[in-house]
Amino acid sequence: MVKGAKKNLAATGGEGELQPAAPLHLWSLFNDMERAMESWLPSGLAHPFRWHAPLRRDVALPFGERAPCVDLIDRDKEIVLRAELPGVEKKDLEVSVTDGSVTIRGKVNHESKEEKEDYYRCERVQGSFSRTVPLPASIDGTKVKASLVDGLLELHLPKLETTRRHTVKVE
């Protein structure tokens, strides 16, 4: 029990003692749940579970939880993956492709300083990130094309002929 705390039904979910706040590493449970929802549901339905609230962004990210947001588009002959990677340079980026997934790894090292009269500010963003995205179809890894423009990574992943959609005429 937190010293000096009183019973509070709303804070505990029932009658009982107040508990200390959960450690920051528990944010990873939300990430795991979000990724599971993305793999089970069509992309548009999974996004309402994504937390873009300032609390999560300001508290969790400085402690190493980094994963780029991605869009995955399933076209007839290819899959297009777009990932937001602001501040990441090509030399600090690694993309690996398997038949069933794409993994994006990289690092960020950015420093911004500002000095004016009595005001001084210095912000640093540094660390590494990784994100593995399951693919909805088998792809030809030898023909993947990648580009990084203005912090947006775009991958074009050609589907194998056997996994492309085919229209069947009903007789």
d(CA 33, CA 57): 17
Number of domains in the chain: 2
Mean pLDDT of 61-67: 50
Residues 124 and 98 in one domain: yes
Give the pLDDT confidence of 82-134 residue by residue, as tens digits: 999 988 899 999 999 987 899 999 988 766 777 777 777 766 667 888 899 99
Residues 151 and 107 in one domain: yes
Query: Residue 127 is part of which domain span?
Result: 67-171
The pLDDT, as a whole number, for residue 14 is 46
- Report if pTM > 0.85: no
Mean pLDDT of 134-154: 94
The pLDDT, as a whole number, for residue 117 is 76
Query: Which of 160, 130, 163 minimizes the C-alpha distance to 144?
Result: 160
Last residue of a domain, one of 65, 83, 99: 65
Residues 57 and 71 in one domain: no
Residues 19 and 81 in one domain: no
Residues 98 and 88 in one domain: yes
Highest mean pLDDT among 27-31, 37-41, 143-147, 165-169: 143-147
72, 102 Cβ separation under 8 angstroms: no
133, 71 Cβ separation under 8 angstroms: no
78, 49 Cβ separation under 8 angstroms: no
Give the pLDDT confidence of 2-56 residue by residue, as tens digits: 444 444 333 444 444 444 444 545 566 777 777 777 777 655 554 554 444 433 4
Last residue of a domain, one of 23, 48, 65: 65
Residues 112 and 125 in one domain: yes
Residue type at position 153 = L
91, 163 Cβ separation under 8 angstroms: no
Residues 51 and 73 in one domain: no
Residues 132 and 107 in one domain: yes
Residues 79 and 54 in one domain: no
Residues 53 and 81 in one domain: no
The pLDDT, as a whole number, for residue 1 is 40
18 by DSSP, 3-state: which? coil
* Percentage of the chain modeled with pLDDT above 90: 35
Residue 136 CB burial class (10 angstroms; 0-12, 13-18, ≥19): middle
The pLDDT, as a whole number, for residue 58 is 39
Residues 159 and 117 in one domain: yes
The pLDDT, as a whole number, for residue 21 is 46
The pLDDT, as a whole number, for residue 28 is 67
Which is more confidently placed, 143 or 162? 143
Residues 8 and 22 in one domain: yes
Residue 98, domain CATH:
2.60.40.790
Query: Which of 121, 132, 111 minimizes the C-alpha distance to 31?
Result: 132
